[in-house]
Amino acid sequence: MLQNLKVILDIQELDMKMIRLMRLKKERLKEIEHIDSLRQELQKQQVEKQDEIAELSRTISNQEDKITEIKERLKKLETKQNSVKKVDEFNALTHEMTTSERERIATEQITSDLIDKRNLEEEILGKIKESLEQSEESSRNLENEIKESIRLINLEGSDLKVSRDEMAKTAEPEVLRIYQRLLNNKKDRVVVPIENRTCSGCHIALTAQHENVVRKGERLTFCEHCSRIHYWQESAAIEGTAVATKRRRRKAAGV
């Protein structure tokens, strides 16, 4: 049975690499999303500010029309006043002119305030445009860098997949199927050694009896706590797998 696990252990190493790669890719994609959302936020602010300024300009133009109207009215009143003879008519016109004059001053004041406001908004718009340009400039480099790293991840991923598919052909289908189901579930190593009579997947202590069964290696043995498949580290049967090589290397390095 352990013989069947040998190839699964090697497949598992590739799958772990693939999971790490996909996590990395996800992170990098998130970074791109973040850059995008910052830019979109600035673009949104820019559009809103432009709309606001356009609305102000319309109001200002209406106010200016109103001022022109009042001025024309005043001119007509003045002409009329020059031609009247009666004092009370003259006075009535003077009163009307004073009212219009007040209206003109008030309207001009409102218009001037609106123009001040528009100048201020245009200044803000300028700043938004500036930071948009800056962020586009700086994010473009970062974005290219991230895209390149995603391209490399994809390359490495497809290489991994080829090796994995090749290896999977040599695995015992039933064991592979069980392994695959566990892996999909846990997204983590699911064929794990027993260490100090403890499952190295869930770190829960195991019985001596369970350890003995695993040590014999006659059948697939699952952790009763986390359902992972157990194997016996020292078993000669796993010699030659990636795990054994790694262990040897660690030993050689004195780790």
User: Which chain residues interact with Zn ion by CB under 5 A?
Assistant: 199, 201-202, 223, 225-226, 228
Task: Give the three-state DSSP class for 225.
Answer: coil
Cβ distance to Zn ion smaller for residue 214 or 223: 223
| Cα–Cα distance measured from residue 222 to residue 231, given in angstroms and rounded to the nearest whole number | 9
Contact call for residues 208 and 245 (beta carbons, < 8 A): no
| Cα–Cα distance measured from residue 161 to residue 172, given in angstroms and rounded to the nearest whole number | 18
Q: How far is the CB of 172 from Zn ion (least distance, A)?
A: 22
Q: How far is the CB of 182 from Zn ion (least distance, A)?
A: 11
Cβ distance to Zn ion smaller for residue 135 or 200: 200
Q: How far is the CB of 43 from Zn ion (least distance, A)?
A: 51
Q: What is the CA radius of gyration of the chain?
A: 40
Contact call for residues 232 and 217 (beta carbons, < 8 A): yes
Q: How far is the CB of 184 from Zn ion (least distance, A)?
A: 17
Task: Give the three-state DSSP class for 183.
Answer: helix
Q: Is 133 exposed, middle or buried (0-12, 13-18, 19+ CB in 10 A)?
A: exposed
Q: How far is the CB of 23 from Zn ion (least distance, A)?
A: 22
Q: How far is the CB of 202 from Zn ion (least distance, A)?
A: 3
| Cα–Cα distance measured from residue 194 to residue 223, given in angstroms and rounded to the nearest whole number | 10
Cβ distance to Zn ion smaller for residue 93 or 202: 202
Cβ distance to Zn ion smaller for residue 77 or 175: 175
Tokens 């003077």 belong to residue: 94
Cβ distance to Zn ion smaller for residue 189 or 228: 228
Show the beta-strand stretches assigned E in 88-233: 191-195, 198-199, 229-231
Cβ distance to Zn ion smaller for residue 150 or 226: 226
Residue 62 CB contacts under 8 Å (≥ 6 apart), including other chains: none
